[in-house]
Structure 1
Amino acid sequence: MVRPGGRSARVQAAVHEAVRALVAEVGRDALTVPLVAQRAGVTPSTVYRRWGDLQELLSDVAVERLRPDTAPGDHGSLTADLTAWAEQFLDEMASPTGRTYIRDALLGDPDGSNAGQCSAYAAAHIGLILARAAERGETPVPEAETVIDRVVAPLMYRILFRPQGLAPAYARHLVADLLAPGGG
């Protein structure tokens, strides 16, 4: 996704900030496009033209909030790096705020581009972890898609549909199974 520049970037930033502020002040259920537009200092037609409706706007805000702030930590080995990343991913995404952002990202995503962007965030982090492991000479290093299928996909399923009792031990188990001899 190319970040807009100039006025477009200012409008996006103002509208996103308005959404975040209004959610904190009045709650999600009270949000309306005219209220967001007023707070952002733009016309409602600007919001409708750019985002289509409130759900698509909430989806755009959610995707931006789901963007990782930092690169995954380097803990010295593939197992340590991937385990730490999976635990952090689980912690952030399984939180009430994380689950709300995931749902918003998916609900206002008619063409699948927001889901694709969220997937790209995870894939980029996984790719960095795998590249570090390869640079250290660790073998075998699984493919990124394998990590997504065997670690990220089950985590996301559980986060969205079976969050009860979800703990870091589950993330550690998924990574250990993936990296066990013959597992990846």
Structure 2
Amino acid sequence: MVVREGLRPGGRSARVQESVHNAVKTLLTELSRDEITVAMIAQRADVTPSTIYRRWGDLQSLLADVAVERFYPDSVPADTGSLRSDLESWAQTYQEEMTSSPGRAMIRDVLAAMETDGSGPACQCADIVRAQVQVIFDRALARGEPIPAMHDVLDQVIAPVMYRMLFDNLPLDPGFARHCASALLDAFVPGRNRRKSRAQKA
């Protein structure tokens, strides 16, 4: 999501963003992405096209901004009583959401706005995932359970799902993400992963 420093929360800029985002979401239910134009969005949001260009730069960046907002989950990960069941359940839900038609459309919009240096909305999606996993980790720590490194969850659970979904034409097994989470925890040795993480940062 586009964040502007120095803006008053709930002010005019926030209202414009909300109106434009709502216009995009509504149009996406009525038309294909290829049919939507900045002029249509501006008319539906009751703003000028120049407002959209000034704030988002181009249509693709706006679509990506809306997609990132939709990446935010509606609720925190389910508390099932243990790190393993929490992580496996969350991973399964993540795969189901991302491989759905709306999920794939969101990913296409985000990737289309990626900068040549890899920056952009896609990085915000990674931050959203980290925040969700951190909720699971915080619960586990409160229960006295050791946790793996955050980067291991991204590398061994999220990355395989995204790679298979984007670059493999073979069907993705419905339990693939759950299996990845289980394999990560099966191989996890408390303490060793932490030392490895610190060594990689050195």
Find out whether 1:86 has 2:91 as its counterpart: yes
Measured after TM superposition, the shift of residue 179 of structure 1 is: 0.7
Q: For 1:144, give the aligned amino acid.
A: M
Could you tell me how far apart the structure 1 residues matched to 2:142 and 2:61 are?
A: 41
Could you tell me how far apart the structure 2 residues matched to 1:91 and 1:56 are?
A: 25
C-alpha contact 1:106 1:115 (8 A) present in aligned 2: yes
Q: For 2:127, give the aligned amino acid.
A: A
Calculate percent identity across the aligned residue pairs. 51
Map of 2:200 onto structure 1: none
Map of 1:108 onto structure 2: 113
Measured after TM superposition, the shift of residue 79 of structure 1 is: 0.7
C-alpha contact 2:110 2:121 (8 A) present in aligned 1: yes
C-alpha contact 1:59 1:104 (8 A) present in aligned 2: yes
Q: For 2:41, give the aligned amino acid.
A: V
3-state DSSP of counterpart to 2:159: helix
Map of 1:177 onto structure 2: 183
Map of 1:165 onto structure 2: 171
Find out whether 1:122 has 2:133 as its counterpart: no
Could you tell me how far apart the structure 2 residues matched to 1:12 and 1:54 are?
A: 14
Find out whether 1:42 has 2:13 as its counterpart: no
Map of 1:144 onto structure 2: 150
Q: 2:63 aligns with which of 39, 58, 62?
A: 58
Q: For 1:37, give the aligned amino acid.
A: A
TM-score, structure 2 normalization: 0.85
Map of 2:22 onto structure 1: 17
C-alpha contact 2:130 2:150 (8 A) present in aligned 1: yes
C-alpha contact 1:71 1:125 (8 A) present in aligned 2: yes
Measured after TM superposition, the shift of residue 138 of structure 1 is: 1.6
User: Structure 2: where are the runs of 5+ without partners?
Assistant: 194-202
161-170 vs 44-53, greater mean Cα deviation: 161-170
Map of 1:133 onto structure 2: 140
C-alpha contact 1:93 1:99 (8 A) present in aligned 2: yes
Measured after TM superposition, the shift of residue 27 of structure 1 is: 2.1
3-state DSSP of counterpart to 2:175: helix
CA distance 1:163–1:99, change in 2 (3 Å):
farther
Could you tell me how far apart the structure 2 residues matched to 1:26 and 1:94 are?
A: 21
C-alpha contact 1:75 1:81 (8 A) present in aligned 2: yes
TM-score, structure 1 normalization: 0.92
C-alpha contact 1:18 1:36 (8 A) present in aligned 2: yes
Measured after TM superposition, the shift of residue 163 of structure 1 is: 5.8
